[in-house]
Amino acid sequence: MFDDATAILDSALDGDGAAVARTIDTVVERSGLDGAYGMAWCLAATLLGEEVPVGGCSLEFPDIDEAEYDTRWVARFVSAYANHDQDTGEALFGAAVADGQLPECLQTLAGSTLATLRSRAG
């Protein structure tokens, strides 16, 4: 799953959205939804970095309910990761699958992770 997350970030860094989508599809074909979930959890960990606050984290995102589905999903999924709340992460993941939104959500998560890494480096 770490290699898959790295491949997605490398493709995103290259600006190759099609390669990001292919990598996501490959992960799902090879490892199923469990593999895709593990990869998403790795991306959330990378986005937050090593400085995850101890204790509960709250979702502070103005107008979150008006955001696009994938943006809401990423904010809530990363919040679940930050709170060590795997049950909520799994529920969000399952909802994205059921709603047919998983590829878009994972692409947005990859883009958000990359933007965060660039911000830290700059």
pLDDT at 13: 79
**Domain range annotation of the chain:** 2-121
% of the chain exceeding 90 in pLDDT: 45
What are the C-alpha distances in Å from 102 to residues 29, 56, 62? 14, 26, 23
pLDDT tens-digit profile of 44-92? 999 988 876 666 666 667 788 899 999 999 999 999 999 889 999 999 9
pLDDT tens-digit profile of 46-57? 998 887 666 666
> Residues 101, 45, 104, CA angle at the centre, nearest 5°?
15
What mean pLDDT value characterizes the chain?
87
- What predicted TM-score, i.e. pTM, was given to this entire model? 0.85
For residue 84, give both structure tokens: 């060590």
